[in-house]
Chain A
Amino acid sequence: MATNIPKSLQIKNRKSGRFRLNFWQRKVLVFYGFVSPWIVGFILLSVLPMIFAILISFTNFNGFDLSGSTFIGLSNYAEAFQNPDAWKAFGLTFKYALFAIPLGLGVALSLAMILNIKLPGRGIFRTIFYLPTMVPGVATALVFQAILNTNSGFLNLFISFFRRGTVIDWLGDYGIACLVAMGLWGCGTTMVIFLAGLQGVPEELRESAMIDGANKWQIFRNITWPILSPITYFQLMMGIIGALQMYVPAGILGQSGVGTNFWNPMRSIFVYPMYALSQMMSYQRFGYGAALIWILFIIIMILALIIQKTSKYWVFYAVDQEGGKEE
């Protein structure tokens, strides 16, 4: 039947039937169909909560009674800047970021550079350094508590062999150092990423530089680093975001005893996000907590922007990066 109808007529008939899209227009619709789960999720689970957070940061919302809360303007933000506890908590978070990020990147890069030397058995070392990242955070915190505990921890027992009766309150007095050490134990992830980047350094380039009489530093500076710098940039970005909002390891490490409320403010390592969350979960001050988190978010965004703006001075992109972006 259909074969008898002239082609031109066929199309006309179809068009007159209903509104019809051509192949490309349909493809656009199919595209939006495929990405719709993410669009809907982004609006409902990211945009909406963020707007909600900024709205409640201007109220005294207590977490349960939305209609009973009143608009109190900027006073949550004003309190955040005046409260000494907030400053103290932020100081700890800042100190943590200041040590954890450079040390984490530095140790991971050094380990990666050593493991990139072709030595027998480097696979075993790579596995050993990566293994700690498989340990769940709770177990990591528990074992570091067992090492750093004042009375029964390994470190104090070990030092007591040399200086009897050593009781150093590691978690209390050097809490941030303990956290940094715990973070370094899990530097395997970054190390493997750097290692993968190092394996992308062309061997011929290094050899020809060596023949031309370049020393080790010159090779690193001019061949290895340009290839590693985009990775470092990404890791630095992620490191800043991660370190400034870090609270779960601090919360568990600073917890004393089983069954203590996680949101209890009485703990040895009280970082800024922990302070914000305990204001919400322990004191029902959701408005104040939301304001604190928004302040942190703005700080993170400013730092990210600064790094992004300065990246053109130290991050090298290969020429084909632009061409490879879009097909």
Chain B
Amino acid sequence: MKSAAPKSIIYTGMIFLSILFLFPFFWMLITALKRPEELAITVVFFPPVPQWFHFLQVLCTDEVIPFFASLRNTLIICVIVTVLVCISSAMVGFGFGRFKAPGKNFLFAIVLATMMLPQLMTFIPQYIMFSQLGLLSFSWPFCYFPWVVTSLPGWAIFIFYYRQFFAGLPKELEDAALIDGCGWLRTFFQIFLPLAGPAVTTTCIFLFQWTYTDYITPLLYLTDDSQTLAVQLMTNTKYPGVKFTQPIPPVPYQMTVGILFTLPLIILFFFAQRYFMQGLATTGLKG
């Protein structure tokens, strides 16, 4: 940009867009600070008395929502999925990246094709299969078993990502290890996986984000006590105040929980911003 005029136009536009993009965050907070009646009966623009104690009510009591129990359930699923998908995707990616074998290219083409497979297609049949096999009738904590099953094969997008990563490493690595009498599995876990540190971090962050925010799978697979925060927030938030003849929607409380639910991800983003950007750049670039 040579002259000052287009620069200022760009800045004005960017600032306007930034306000537009940040506004929902602001309105989230404003809504959380209203009394439920101020949304349902006497509508106000700004809350006359900001109800900051909503946050305390959610965090310190179980009247609104069993917050920490639900968060614990969410985190259990996150750990299962993140660890299993990360390791098995890395193993499969390692296989595709470092070996020559008949049928390899064909198999890899199928891996890429499954990225295009609509998740909707397998979602309900999987659910029926699991329920027919009796996998959905376990009590806590074994009710999270379906996530173990679905995570073990790894995810196509990460298999692709790891394949690209491992294929780029020098050939001498495994030769040295194998000559020293190291088995293939040990070569993978002790030499290649530690080298893939940045790729592992990126994968884990994305997996954590996706599992943490997942709504539909827990809704289908879990029941009340084992339910995750995302579902509890939508289905089980209560207004713990006076009982009215007409039930008043607990929207401000939902918004409070929503903010507390979002906050860990925002914090994670500011700590791991580099990994988010890099991960997107490398997974999204080479289709």
Cβ distance A326 to chain B, nearest Cβ, rounded Å: 8
Q: Which of A209-239 contact B (CB under 8 A)?
A: 230-231, 233-235, 237
A147 contacts B by Cβ under 8 Å: yes
Q: Are B125 and A114 in contact (CB under 8 A)?
A: no
Count of A-B contacts judged by CB separation below 8 Å: 254
Q: Are A38 and B255 in contact (CB under 8 A)?
A: no
**Bound form: Cα–Cα A245–B119 in Å:** 8
Q: Which residues of B contact A136 (CB under 8 A)?
A: 212-213, 215, 230, 258, 261-262, 265
Given A137-B213, A143-B255, A196-B281, A157 and B43 touching (CB < 8 A)? yes
Q: Which of A186-225 contact B (CB under 8 A)?
A: 189, 192-193, 195-197, 200
Q: Are B284 and A196 in contact (CB under 8 A)?
A: yes
Q: Are A42 and B285 in contact (CB under 8 A)?
A: no
Q: Are A152 and B40 in contact (CB under 8 A)?
A: yes
Q: Are A143 and B31 in contact (CB under 8 A)?
A: yes
Q: Are A37 and B125 in contact (CB under 8 A)?
A: no
**Bound form: Cα–Cα A232–B216 in Å:** 29
**Bound form: Cα–Cα A125–B17 in Å:** 9
Q: Which residues of B contact A231 (CB under 8 A)?
A: 284-285, 287
Q: Are B281 and A151 in contact (CB under 8 A)?
A: no
Q: Are A131 and B120 in contact (CB under 8 A)?
A: no
A117 contacts B by Cβ under 8 Å: yes
Q: Are B88 and A258 in contact (CB under 8 A)?
A: no
Given A50-B121, A139-B262, A241-B116, A193 and B104 touching (CB < 8 A)? no
**Bound form: Cα–Cα A117–B102 in Å:** 47
Q: Which of B85-110 contact A (CB under 8 A)?
A: 88, 91-92, 94-96, 99-102, 104-105, 107, 110
Q: Which residues of B contact A50 (CB under 8 A)?
A: 121-122, 125
Q: Are B126 and A185 in contact (CB under 8 A)?
A: no
Q: Which residues of B contact A233 (CB under 8 A)?
A: 287
Q: Which residues of A contact B237 (CB under 8 A)?
A: 258
A48 contacts B by Cβ under 8 Å: yes
**Bound form: Cα–Cα A121–B237 in Å:** 40
Q: Which residue of B lies closest to A188 (CB)?
A: B21
Q: Which residue of B lies closest to A28 (CB)?
A: B101
- Binary A-proximity of B140-152 (CB < 8 A = 1, otherwise 0): 0000000001101
Q: Are B122 and A49 in contact (CB under 8 A)?
A: yes
**Bound form: Cα–Cα A258–B14 in Å:** 37
Q: Which of A231-286 contact B (CB under 8 A)?
A: 231, 233-235, 237, 241, 244-245, 247-248, 252, 255, 257-259, 262, 273, 276-277, 280, 286
Given A30-B99, A138-B213, A280 and B255 touching (CB < 8 A)? no
Q: Which of B193-228 contact A (CB under 8 A)?
A: 209, 212-213, 215-216, 219
Interface residue from A146, A197, A277 paired with B27 (Cβ < 8 Å) = A146
Q: A31-B101, A304-B116 are in contact. List 15 more A-B contacts (CB 8 A).
A: A34-B94, A38-B111, A45-B153, A130-B276, A132-B24, A142-B255, A143-B258, A152-B43, A157-B43, A196-B280, A196-B285, A234-B287, A247-B120, A255-B234, A258-B234
Rank and list the top 9 A-B pairs by shortest CB-CB distance, nearest first.
A41-B153, A234-B287, A34-B95, A196-B281, A49-B125, A193-B284, A136-B213, A31-B99, A139-B258
